[in-house]
Chain A
Amino acid sequence: MVAPLLVAPLLLLFAIFFVVPFVEIMRISFSGQGGALAGATWLMSSSLFAVIFLNTLKLALTVTLICLGLGYPAACFIAGQPASQRGIYLALVLLPFWTSVLVRTYTWALVLGREGLLNASLIWLGLSDEPQRFMFTPLAVHLGMVQILLPVAILTLVGVMTELDPGLARAARVLGASPWRAFWHVYLPMTKPGIVAAAMLLFILSLGFYITPALLGGPRHRTIANLIDLQVHQMNDWTSASAMALVLLATTIVAVVLLRWLVPDRTLHGGAG
């Protein structure tokens, strides 16, 4: 009898701040001036939406892969430390994680600007004669997003890796496996649930990124979130904006389902699997 009461506050919060706005968004997207299908028609016919949607998917995918590529070795390293020292390394990862996304994004603008730290260093080192353009490039967007999301990757992976029995990889080595073979056939498969969980989180978070692409990429590197903002603020077209919000949600759900299907539920939560 007590259990339902315990989740009641959460359910209430969820109902007020997710279900109600969501139903409203559904209503707006199917009740535009041009009829019930105006939003859907716009989605199907707009080349703007098609290009930006694909760009957003591509961006989310590359950022996810880069974060995994950089985060995995770092997580291995941290998980391999004695428990007493792990805290220090985790703190180093958490520190930027606790800093506001806005602050970190602005800091990148300062570093990458025409008269910023990076250009000043390049010129001082004699590697470049004049300032290079880093701001408002795909490079800037990727850098910013990877730096913001990397802690998510590392923390998720460390969580899984510290649960593993280090004896298993050692056993493989003792039995004659090369370090590479022990990693590839023993360690990596055991961390697969961590990789999938991290990928899922990273991809979903990347899909909805707004501030970082807006500030570091500008209007030439818009994501779906930025396009929704444009629709609402510049074009006064809430129907299309709502329709896009639904597409974003649907994409997220598809991504979750796909990953769930790739890795069974039990291993996602079971840690050592």
Chain B
Amino acid sequence: MTDMTRRDMGRLALGGAALAAMGKSAHAQAVTITVNGSGGSLAKSLERIYEKPFTAETGIGVRSTAPVSLPKLKAMVETGNMEWDLTEMGGADMIEAIKNGWLTEIDWSIVDPDNKLPPIARQKYGMVTSTFSTVIAYRTDKFGGKAPKSWADFWDVKSFPGPRALQDSPVQNLEFALLADGVPADKLYPLDVERAFKKLDQIKGNVAAWWTTGAQQVQLLVDGEAVMGTVWNGRVPPLKKEGKPVDIIWNGGALQLSYWAVPKGAKHPREAMLYMKSRLDPDKGLQLLQDSPYPGFAPGLIEKVDPELAKTLPIHPDNVAVQYRFDPDYWSEHRQKLTERWAAWLLT
């Protein structure tokens, strides 16, 4: 018994020493950065296309986390316990974060030393990483061969009967209501809030579900809980490939930008910016587009895209022409008040 114990202790000691040595050498070699993104099925593609090659090239490990969350960023900055080195951000969140001083300035001499990015993508506190659109999606098998073409059709429950799905947020829904009511896309801002809510009153009874996540958007359509609803453009192509009867309309879509930003207090800002640089490789960008139709402004990317694929992208000229340009400034300023009004409106 004593013998056993002694032997076990010996093993333990050896193991401990080995572990300590390993930990030490790994630490001496490299750092691991934590990159926060939207997660989901895309995480695998990102790992294959960007993260593994980046680690192989630089020795810097990449740990990815999700989801994108402004409150989490706020909490981590305020407690001085910053877990992320890099995070994705939506447009309105970006403005909020800059206003509150939660971000670190980008050192463009690291990220884009040859100054090849267009100015829209090179901002003081962030780099545009992708473009995406919130658009109408509909079930192609529910309207007897007819296809809706606009927000007016979304509101037209006589010609296109069946339950609708919208996001549980005033953001963009107020714009969509105004578009349905005939306001031209370039005259949306500042929003006529009264008119928008009045128009929304007409559709409220037909909205069966108010989604909150990307996964829900398409689930509602596939399950038949809704026959028409809003989605992010990239959610539908994979379903079409599977043969599901769904399609999207670009007309009246909301074209938006999303960003990479380095949080204040990030432990490895330099390494994070090196990773940002690796995200600008056009060939890798092309690979990613096969899985995710959310192109960024990587120099030389758009010239390489196959014309058929290009048509499914938010920044294809035909698609840009029929969408409106979402205004994050307006929403950063009014989001709080309008969200409260929205929540109260939903209760009645």
Contact = CB atoms under 8 A, between A and B. Distances in A.
Contact of B210 (A52, A219, A227): A219
A235 B339 contact: yes
Given A218-B168, A220-B347, 13 more contacts: A113-B224, A135-B225, A136-B208, A136-B209, A136-B210, A219-B168, A222-B346, A232-B71, A233-B69, A235-B336, A235-B340, A236-B336, A238-B71
Given A114-B224, A136-B208, A48 B336 contact: no
Interface string B329-348: 00000011001100110110
A234 interface: yes
B344 A47 contact: yes
Interface of A: 46-48, 51-52, 55, 113-115, 131, 133, 135-136, 218-220, 222, 227, 230, 232-238
A234 B168 CA distance: 10
Contacts of A220: 210, 346-347
Nearest to B227: A114
A234 B169 contact: yes
Contacts of A237: 336
Interface in B144-168: 163, 168
Interface size bucket, B side? 20 to 34
Contacts of B308: none
Contacts of B169: 234
Interface of B: 69-71, 74, 96, 163, 168-169, 208-210, 223-225, 335-336, 339-340, 343-344, 346-347
A48 B70 contact: no
Contact of B223 (A115, A133, A235): A115
Nearest to A55: B347
A48 B340 contact: yes
Contacts of A55: 347
A229 to B, nearest CB: 10
A236 B224 contact: no
Given A115-B223, A218-B209, A220-B210, A236 B74 contact: yes
Contacts of B224: 113-115, 131
Contacts of B163: 114, 133
Nearest to A51: B347
Contacts of B339: 230, 234-235
Given A51-B344, A219-B346, A236 B210 contact: no
A135 B343 contact: no
